[in-house]
Homo-oligomer: A and B are copies of this chain.
Amino acid sequence: MKIAIYGYGNLGRGVECSIMQNSDMELVGIFTRRNPDSVKPQFESTKVYSVDDILSFKDIIDVLIICGGSATDLPKMTPALAEHFNVIDSFDTHADIPTHFANTDFTAKSGKKTAIISVGWDPGMFSLNRLYASVILPEGNDYTFWGKGVSQGHSDAIRRIEGVLDARQYTCPVEEALNSVRRGENPELTTRQKHTRECFVVVEDGADKQRIEQEIKNMPKYFADYDTTVNFISQEELNKNHSGIPHGGFVIRTGKTGKNKENNHVIEYSLKLDSNPEFTASVLVAYARAALRMNKRGNFGCKTAFDVAPADLSIMTPDEIRAKML
C-alpha cells in the first residue's frame, strides 16, 4: 500500500521511519507547505513534493497521513483532504473532537473515503484502554496519569517569559497517588495531587532568576495548580541532558464484581516512550493499514480508534493472527 506524509515536522519524520518498519507499505513522498527543495528528509530515497500538487496524486496515494498541528492545521486540513484521500490524523484537542469528527465525516462520505481521526496514544491507545476497561468493569473508577514526559506546550510557555532563553518542562505523575489508585482505594485526586511539574530553564546573563521562578510557578492554568520545581541550568546542560522528547503515562481502572461487590480488580495500561512523536507516528501508520482495508469494504466516513477492529491493524492474515496471537 502506498502512503504519503502531509506536513514534515517531528511527527512526519516519525512516520517516515515507521513506514520503513512495515513491509507492506511504500512511501510515495512528503508533501510540504515549504519549498520542497528546502526540506531534507531522513532517507535519501524519500521524495518531497509541494502540497499544491497533492491532487495530482489522487489515484496514487492509498492513505495520506496528515502530520499537522491540532490548533490550526488539522481542523482545516483533515476535512479538506478527506474528500479526496483516505486520511489519518492525530487531532488531540479533546473538547473539539465532536466538531472535527462531524466536519470530516461529511467530506469523507461525499468523497467515498475513510478518515480515522485522533489517532496516537492520548487520544488513541489510552482512549481504547479507558473504553475496554470500563466495559469490563462497569462499576469502577478510571484514572489517567501522564509522564514522566516533556510537555511542549508548557516548555513554550516558559520560553515566552522575559529573560528566558530556553526551557524544558517535564510532567511527572505523583507516585503515591498512583499507588493509592493501584491499591483500589478510589482516591478523589486534585490536579495538584496527580502530577508535579519539573522545569529546566536557561536564562540570559544577569536575568532575575527569582522573578522568573515566581512567574513560572504562578502562571495560571499551566503551573499555578501544580507543585512546580524550577532548575536553572546552562544551555549546554539543557542540550546534553534534555534534548529528547520522552513521554508516557498510565491508564488504570479499578472496579468490583460479585454478588456483594466483594471482589476487586485492577486493569493497568502504561507506556514508557523515549520519543513521543515517533511512537505516535507508529500508531498512525498502523491505523493507515486499517483505513485502506475499511475503505475497500465500503466503510466510508469519519472513524476513530473505537471503530476499528484490531485485526484490521495487522499485517498478518486473520488465520495467522488467531494462530499466533490469541
A237 within 8 Å of B (CB atoms): no
Q: How far is the CB of A168 from chain B (nearest CB, A)?
A: 17
A118 within 8 Å of B (CB atoms): yes
Q: How far is the CB of A14 from chain B (nearest CB, A)?
A: 7
Selecting from A146-154, A156-164, A222-230, A302-310, the interface stretch reads: A302-310
Tell me the bound Cα distance from A160 to B14 in angstroms: 57
Count the copies: 2
Tell me the bound Cα distance from A271 to B135 in angstroms: 15
Which one of B42, B182, B281, B310 contacts A306 once the chains associate, using CB atoms below 8 Å? B310
Residues of A7-56 contacting chain B, CB below 8 A? 14, 17-18, 21-22, 42-43
The count of chain A contact residues (Cβ–Cβ below 8 Å) is 69
Selecting from A106-114, A205-213, A318-326, the interface stretch reads: A318-326
Residues of A88-134 contacting chain B, CB below 8 A? 94, 97-98, 101, 118, 123, 125, 127-132, 134
Q: Is the CB of B278 within 8 A of A306?
A: no
Residues of B contacting A267 with CB < 8 Å? 125, 269-271
Q: Is the CB of A314 within 8 A of B257?
A: no
15 residue pairs from A and B, CB less than 8 Å apart: A17-B258, A22-B138, A129-B269, A131-B311, A136-B279, A136-B286, A257-B278, A258-B275, A263-B278, A264-B274, A265-B271, A266-B271, A304-B326, A306-B325, A307-B311
